[in-house]
Amino acid sequence: MINVLFAAQADRWEKYEHPLHTAFADLGLKVDLRTDHAPDTVDYIVYAPNSDVQDFTPFTRCKAVLNLWAGVENVVGNHTLTQPLARMVDPGMTRGMIEWVTGHALRHHLGMDRHIRDQNGQWHNYIPPLAQDRRVTILGLGELGTACAQAIAGLGFPVTGWSRSAKKIDGITCLHGADGLKTAMERADILVLLLPKTPATENTLNGETLKFLPTGAFIINPGRGPLIDDDALLAVLDTGHVAHATLDVFRIEPLPPEHPFWAHPRVTVTPHIASETRPVTSAQVIAENVRRGEAGEDFLYLVDRKAGY
Protein backbone atom coordinates (compact mmCIF):
# COMPACT_ATOMS: atom_id res chain seq x y z
CA MET A 1 0.00 0.00 0.00
CA ILE A 2 1.28 3.49 -0.91
CA ASN A 3 0.42 6.15 1.67
CA VAL A 4 -0.47 9.51 0.11
CA LEU A 5 -1.20 12.53 2.29
CA PHE A 6 -3.51 15.18 0.84
CA ALA A 7 -2.29 18.44 2.40
CA ALA A 8 -4.41 21.33 1.17
CA GLN A 9 -7.26 23.45 2.49
CA ALA A 10 -10.37 21.50 3.47
CA ASP A 11 -12.57 22.62 0.55
CA ARG A 12 -10.05 21.12 -1.91
CA TRP A 13 -10.46 17.60 -0.47
CA GLU A 14 -14.08 17.40 -1.63
CA LYS A 15 -13.00 18.28 -5.18
CA TYR A 16 -9.91 16.10 -5.40
CA GLU A 17 -10.71 12.94 -3.39
CA HIS A 18 -12.72 11.17 -6.07
CA PRO A 19 -10.56 12.18 -9.10
CA LEU A 20 -7.40 11.11 -7.25
CA HIS A 21 -8.88 7.70 -6.31
CA THR A 22 -9.91 7.20 -9.95
CA ALA A 23 -6.53 8.28 -11.33
CA PHE A 24 -4.58 5.99 -8.96
CA ALA A 25 -6.88 3.05 -9.76
CA ASP A 26 -6.53 3.69 -13.51
CA LEU A 27 -2.76 3.19 -13.16
CA GLY A 28 -3.22 0.09 -10.99
CA LEU A 29 -1.75 1.82 -7.91
CA LYS A 30 -2.90 0.65 -4.46
CA VAL A 31 -3.04 3.91 -2.56
CA ASP A 32 -4.26 4.81 0.91
CA LEU A 33 -5.18 8.47 0.31
CA ARG A 34 -5.98 10.52 3.39
CA THR A 35 -5.78 13.97 4.93
CA ASP A 36 -4.33 12.63 8.22
CA HIS A 37 -1.61 9.97 7.85
CA ALA A 38 1.03 9.84 10.60
CA PRO A 39 3.94 11.84 9.10
CA ASP A 40 6.52 9.02 9.32
CA THR A 41 4.26 6.70 7.28
CA VAL A 42 3.73 9.05 4.32
CA ASP A 43 5.17 8.10 0.90
CA TYR A 44 3.99 11.14 -1.12
CA ILE A 45 2.42 14.48 -0.24
CA VAL A 46 -0.11 16.09 -2.58
CA TYR A 47 0.51 19.64 -1.52
CA ALA A 48 -0.87 23.17 -1.57
CA PRO A 49 1.54 25.73 -0.11
CA ASN A 50 -1.24 27.29 2.01
CA SER A 51 -1.90 23.99 3.85
CA ASP A 52 -1.07 23.32 7.51
CA VAL A 53 2.06 21.37 6.53
CA GLN A 54 4.95 23.81 6.68
CA ASP A 55 7.56 21.62 8.40
CA PHE A 56 8.54 18.60 6.31
CA THR A 57 11.06 17.24 8.86
CA PRO A 58 8.69 14.58 10.31
CA PHE A 59 7.98 13.12 6.84
CA THR A 60 11.01 10.86 7.04
CA ARG A 61 10.06 8.38 4.30
CA CYS A 62 8.35 10.78 1.89
CA LYS A 63 9.64 10.27 -1.66
CA ALA A 64 8.23 13.46 -3.26
CA VAL A 65 6.07 16.49 -2.67
CA LEU A 66 3.62 16.97 -5.55
CA ASN A 67 2.44 20.57 -5.72
CA LEU A 68 -1.15 21.26 -6.76
CA TRP A 69 -0.23 24.71 -8.08
CA ALA A 70 1.97 25.80 -10.99
CA GLY A 71 3.62 28.51 -8.85
CA VAL A 72 6.00 27.23 -6.17
CA GLU A 73 7.33 30.49 -4.69
CA ASN A 74 5.76 29.77 -1.29
CA VAL A 75 7.38 26.35 -0.87
CA VAL A 76 10.58 26.40 -2.92
CA GLY A 77 12.56 28.20 -0.19
CA ASN A 78 11.35 25.92 2.64
CA HIS A 79 14.60 24.58 4.17
CA THR A 80 12.83 21.65 5.85
CA LEU A 81 11.93 20.30 2.41
CA THR A 82 14.69 17.92 1.32
CA GLN A 83 12.51 15.72 -0.90
CA PRO A 84 12.04 16.29 -4.66
CA LEU A 85 9.38 18.94 -5.36
CA ALA A 86 7.24 18.70 -8.50
CA ARG A 87 5.16 21.63 -9.66
CA MET A 88 1.79 21.27 -11.36
CA VAL A 89 1.63 21.11 -15.12
CA ASP A 90 -2.01 20.31 -15.80
CA PRO A 91 -3.49 20.14 -19.31
CA GLY A 92 -6.77 21.50 -17.88
CA MET A 93 -5.02 24.49 -16.33
CA THR A 94 -3.16 25.13 -19.58
CA ARG A 95 -6.42 25.14 -21.56
CA GLY A 96 -7.94 27.53 -19.02
CA MET A 97 -4.99 29.91 -19.30
CA ILE A 98 -5.15 29.90 -23.10
CA GLU A 99 -8.84 30.84 -22.90
CA TRP A 100 -8.35 33.59 -20.30
CA VAL A 101 -5.34 35.18 -22.02
CA THR A 102 -6.89 34.98 -25.48
CA GLY A 103 -10.17 36.42 -24.24
CA HIS A 104 -8.54 39.42 -22.58
CA ALA A 105 -6.16 39.98 -25.50
CA LEU A 106 -9.10 40.01 -27.93
CA ARG A 107 -11.03 42.41 -25.68
CA HIS A 108 -8.24 44.95 -26.04
CA HIS A 109 -7.45 44.16 -29.65
CA LEU A 110 -11.05 44.58 -30.80
CA GLY A 111 -11.70 47.59 -28.55
CA MET A 112 -14.77 45.82 -27.15
CA ASP A 113 -15.12 48.27 -24.25
CA ARG A 114 -16.17 51.00 -26.66
CA HIS A 115 -19.29 49.08 -27.56
CA ILE A 116 -20.00 47.40 -24.24
CA ARG A 117 -19.60 50.56 -22.13
CA ASP A 118 -20.46 53.37 -24.56
CA GLN A 119 -24.13 52.67 -25.33
CA ASN A 120 -24.78 56.40 -25.67
CA GLY A 121 -26.63 56.82 -28.95
CA GLN A 122 -23.51 57.83 -30.87
CA TRP A 123 -22.55 55.88 -33.98
CA HIS A 124 -18.72 55.74 -33.88
CA ASN A 125 -17.55 53.16 -36.37
CA TYR A 126 -14.14 52.34 -34.93
CA ILE A 127 -12.52 49.60 -37.03
CA PRO A 128 -9.81 47.64 -35.20
CA PRO A 129 -6.74 46.52 -37.13
CA LEU A 130 -6.44 42.89 -38.13
CA ALA A 131 -4.50 40.63 -35.78
CA GLN A 132 -1.60 40.60 -38.23
CA ASP A 133 -1.09 44.30 -37.46
CA ARG A 134 -1.10 43.97 -33.65
CA ARG A 135 2.06 42.59 -32.05
CA VAL A 136 1.83 40.44 -28.94
CA THR A 137 4.73 39.71 -26.59
CA ILE A 138 4.67 37.00 -23.94
CA LEU A 139 7.22 37.16 -21.11
CA GLY A 140 7.79 33.55 -20.03
CA LEU A 141 7.86 30.71 -22.54
CA GLY A 142 7.23 27.79 -20.20
CA GLU A 143 4.24 25.45 -20.21
CA LEU A 144 1.68 28.25 -20.07
CA GLY A 145 3.53 30.98 -21.97
CA THR A 146 4.29 28.68 -24.91
CA ALA A 147 0.72 27.36 -25.09
CA CYS A 148 -0.68 30.92 -25.04
CA ALA A 149 1.90 32.13 -27.58
CA GLN A 150 0.94 29.36 -29.99
CA ALA A 151 -2.79 29.93 -29.55
CA ILE A 152 -2.44 33.68 -30.13
CA ALA A 153 -0.13 33.16 -33.11
CA GLY A 154 -2.78 30.78 -34.44
CA LEU A 155 -5.21 33.73 -34.56
CA GLY A 156 -2.78 35.64 -36.79
CA PHE A 157 -1.01 37.91 -34.29
CA PRO A 158 2.78 38.25 -34.70
CA VAL A 159 4.07 36.84 -31.40
CA THR A 160 7.39 37.40 -29.65
CA GLY A 161 8.31 35.45 -26.52
CA TRP A 162 11.00 35.94 -23.91
CA SER A 163 12.56 33.41 -21.56
CA ARG A 164 15.68 32.84 -19.44
CA SER A 165 17.28 30.34 -21.81
CA ALA A 166 17.37 30.51 -25.63
CA LYS A 167 14.48 28.69 -27.33
CA LYS A 168 13.15 27.75 -30.76
CA ILE A 169 9.38 27.53 -31.12
CA ASP A 170 7.68 27.29 -34.52
CA GLY A 171 5.86 30.48 -35.45
CA ILE A 172 7.15 32.48 -32.43
CA THR A 173 10.09 34.92 -32.37
CA CYS A 174 12.04 33.79 -29.30
CA LEU A 175 14.27 36.17 -27.36
CA HIS A 176 16.13 35.90 -24.06
CA GLY A 177 18.41 37.86 -21.77
CA ALA A 178 18.45 41.58 -20.94
CA ASP A 179 18.77 42.80 -24.56
CA GLY A 180 16.02 40.38 -25.53
CA LEU A 181 13.71 41.91 -22.94
CA LYS A 182 14.11 45.41 -24.38
CA THR A 183 13.36 44.22 -27.91
CA ALA A 184 10.46 42.05 -26.71
CA MET A 185 8.88 44.98 -24.89
CA GLU A 186 9.40 47.39 -27.78
CA ARG A 187 7.28 45.00 -29.88
CA ALA A 188 4.52 44.61 -27.32
CA ASP A 189 1.29 46.25 -28.47
CA ILE A 190 -0.14 43.66 -26.08
CA LEU A 191 2.15 42.36 -23.33
CA VAL A 192 1.32 39.13 -21.43
CA LEU A 193 3.24 38.16 -18.28
CA LEU A 194 3.61 34.43 -17.65
CA LEU A 195 6.82 34.41 -15.63
CA PRO A 196 7.15 32.71 -12.23
CA LYS A 197 7.87 34.77 -9.13
CA THR A 198 11.58 34.40 -8.34
CA PRO A 199 14.19 36.86 -7.04
CA ALA A 200 15.27 37.37 -10.69
CA THR A 201 11.79 38.15 -12.06
CA GLU A 202 10.61 40.55 -9.34
CA ASN A 203 9.85 44.00 -10.82
CA THR A 204 10.53 42.86 -14.39
CA LEU A 205 8.15 45.67 -15.27
CA ASN A 206 9.61 48.76 -13.61
CA GLY A 207 10.02 52.46 -14.32
CA GLU A 208 12.79 51.76 -16.82
CA THR A 209 11.42 48.74 -18.70
CA LEU A 210 7.87 50.09 -18.94
CA LYS A 211 9.27 52.93 -21.07
CA PHE A 212 10.24 50.36 -23.73
CA LEU A 213 6.57 49.66 -24.45
CA PRO A 214 4.99 51.35 -27.46
CA THR A 215 2.54 54.12 -26.60
CA GLY A 216 -0.95 52.74 -26.09
CA ALA A 217 0.22 49.23 -25.14
CA PHE A 218 -2.00 46.86 -23.15
CA ILE A 219 -0.67 44.76 -20.28
CA ILE A 220 -2.19 41.45 -19.21
CA ASN A 221 -0.74 39.88 -16.05
CA PRO A 222 -1.86 36.38 -15.06
CA GLY A 223 1.71 35.57 -13.84
CA ARG A 224 2.38 36.95 -10.36
CA GLY A 225 1.85 40.39 -8.77
CA PRO A 226 5.49 41.08 -7.83
CA LEU A 227 6.52 40.89 -11.51
CA ILE A 228 5.29 44.51 -11.67
CA ASP A 229 6.33 47.59 -9.69
CA ASP A 230 2.80 48.85 -8.90
CA ASP A 231 3.75 52.54 -8.60
CA ALA A 232 5.66 52.50 -11.88
CA LEU A 233 2.65 50.90 -13.59
CA LEU A 234 0.26 53.48 -12.13
CA ALA A 235 2.55 56.25 -13.42
CA VAL A 236 2.46 55.00 -17.04
CA LEU A 237 -1.28 54.38 -16.83
CA ASP A 238 -1.82 57.94 -15.62
CA THR A 239 0.08 59.39 -18.58
CA GLY A 240 -1.74 57.05 -20.99
CA HIS A 241 1.56 55.55 -22.20
CA VAL A 242 -0.01 52.24 -21.20
CA ALA A 243 -3.65 52.20 -22.32
CA HIS A 244 -4.92 49.50 -19.96
CA ALA A 245 -3.72 46.81 -17.57
CA THR A 246 -5.71 43.65 -16.92
CA LEU A 247 -4.35 42.23 -13.68
CA ASP A 248 -5.24 38.84 -12.19
CA VAL A 249 -2.47 38.62 -9.56
CA PHE A 250 -1.22 41.06 -6.94
CA ARG A 251 1.46 41.55 -4.28
CA ILE A 252 -1.24 41.21 -1.64
CA GLU A 253 -4.21 38.92 -2.32
CA PRO A 254 -7.06 39.57 -1.94
CA LEU A 255 -6.21 43.00 -3.34
CA PRO A 256 -7.00 45.44 -0.47
CA PRO A 257 -10.14 47.56 -1.13
CA GLU A 258 -8.14 50.79 -0.83
CA HIS A 259 -5.57 49.79 -3.48
CA PRO A 260 -5.59 52.32 -6.37
CA PHE A 261 -5.91 49.55 -8.97
CA TRP A 262 -9.57 48.99 -8.00
CA ALA A 263 -10.70 52.49 -8.93
CA HIS A 264 -8.32 53.21 -11.79
CA PRO A 265 -10.21 53.66 -15.09
CA ARG A 266 -7.40 51.97 -17.01
CA VAL A 267 -7.16 48.88 -14.81
CA THR A 268 -9.24 45.71 -14.81
CA VAL A 269 -8.87 43.59 -11.67
CA THR A 270 -9.74 39.90 -11.75
CA PRO A 271 -9.44 37.89 -8.51
CA HIS A 272 -6.67 35.37 -9.34
CA ILE A 273 -8.97 33.28 -11.49
CA ALA A 274 -7.02 33.22 -14.76
CA SER A 275 -6.66 29.47 -14.52
CA GLU A 276 -7.28 27.00 -11.72
CA THR A 277 -5.78 23.55 -11.39
CA ARG A 278 -8.54 21.20 -12.64
CA PRO A 279 -9.14 18.18 -10.40
CA VAL A 280 -9.62 15.45 -13.03
CA THR A 281 -6.67 16.30 -15.28
CA SER A 282 -4.30 17.24 -12.44
CA ALA A 283 -5.14 14.01 -10.56
CA GLN A 284 -3.88 12.08 -13.60
CA VAL A 285 -0.59 14.04 -13.49
CA ILE A 286 -0.20 13.32 -9.76
CA ALA A 287 -0.96 9.62 -10.23
CA GLU A 288 1.59 9.39 -13.04
CA ASN A 289 4.25 10.91 -10.77
CA VAL A 290 3.43 8.43 -7.99
CA ARG A 291 3.67 5.60 -10.54
CA ARG A 292 7.07 6.93 -11.63
CA GLY A 293 8.27 7.18 -8.04
CA GLU A 294 7.27 3.57 -7.36
CA ALA A 295 8.89 2.36 -10.60
CA GLY A 296 12.13 4.22 -9.83
CA GLU A 297 11.65 6.48 -12.87
CA ASP A 298 12.36 10.23 -12.96
CA PHE A 299 9.57 12.46 -11.68
CA LEU A 300 7.86 14.83 -14.13
CA TYR A 301 8.02 18.62 -13.68
CA LEU A 302 10.67 18.78 -10.96
CA VAL A 303 11.39 22.25 -9.64
CA ASP A 304 14.91 23.62 -10.01
CA ARG A 305 15.33 24.67 -6.38
CA LYS A 306 18.22 27.01 -7.20
CA ALA A 307 16.40 28.85 -10.01
CA GLY A 308 13.25 28.93 -7.87
CA TYR A 309 10.78 27.56 -10.44
Ligand X SMILES: NC(=O)c1ccc[n+]([C@@H]2O[C@H](COP(=O)([O-])OP(=O)(O)OC[C@H]3O[C@@H](n4cnc5c(N)ncnc54)[C@H](OP(=O)(O)O)[C@@H]3O)[C@@H](O)[C@H]2O)c1
Which of 107, 241, 264, 272 binds ligand X (CB under 6 A)? It is 272
Decide if 272 is catalytic: yes
Decide: is 91 part of the binding site for ligand X (CB under 6 A): no
Decide: is 67 part of the binding site for ligand X (CB under 6 A): no
Binding map of ligand X across residues 199-218, x = CB under 6 A, - = no contact: -xx-----------------
Q: What is the 3-state secondary structure (H, E, C) of the chain?
A: CEEEEEECCHHHHHHHHHHHHHHHHHCCCCEEEECCCCHHHCCEEEECCCCCCCCCCCCCCCCEEEECCCCCCCCCCCCCCCCCEECCCCHHHHHHHHHHHHHHHHHHHHCHHHHHHCCCCCCCCCCCCCHHHCCEEEECCCHHHHHHHHHHHHCCCCEEEEECCCCCECCEEEEEHHHHHHHHHHCCCEEEECCCCCCCCCCCECCCHHHHCCCCEEEEECCCHHHECHHHHHHHHHHCCEEEEEECCCCCCCCCCCCHHHHCCCEEECCCCCCCCCHHHHHHHHHHHHHHHHHCCCCCCECCCCCCC
Binding map of ligand X across residues 231-270, x = CB under 6 A, - = no contact: -----------------xx---------------------
Binding map of ligand X across residues 68-87, x = CB under 6 A, - = no contact: --xx----------------
Spot the catalytic one: 21, 95, 107, 272.
272
Decide if 224 is catalytic: yes
Question: Which residue lies nearer to ligand X by CB, 87 or 108?
Answer: 87
Question: Which residue lies nearer to ligand X by CB, 31 or 101?
Answer: 101
Task: Give the residue at shortest CB distance from ligand X.
Answer: 142
Which of 141, 149, 255, 267 binds ligand X (CB under 6 A)? It is 141
Active site residues: 224, 272
- Applying CB under 6 A, which residues contact ligand X? 70-71, 89, 93, 140-145, 163-165, 194-198, 200-201, 222-224, 248-249, 272, 274-275, 309
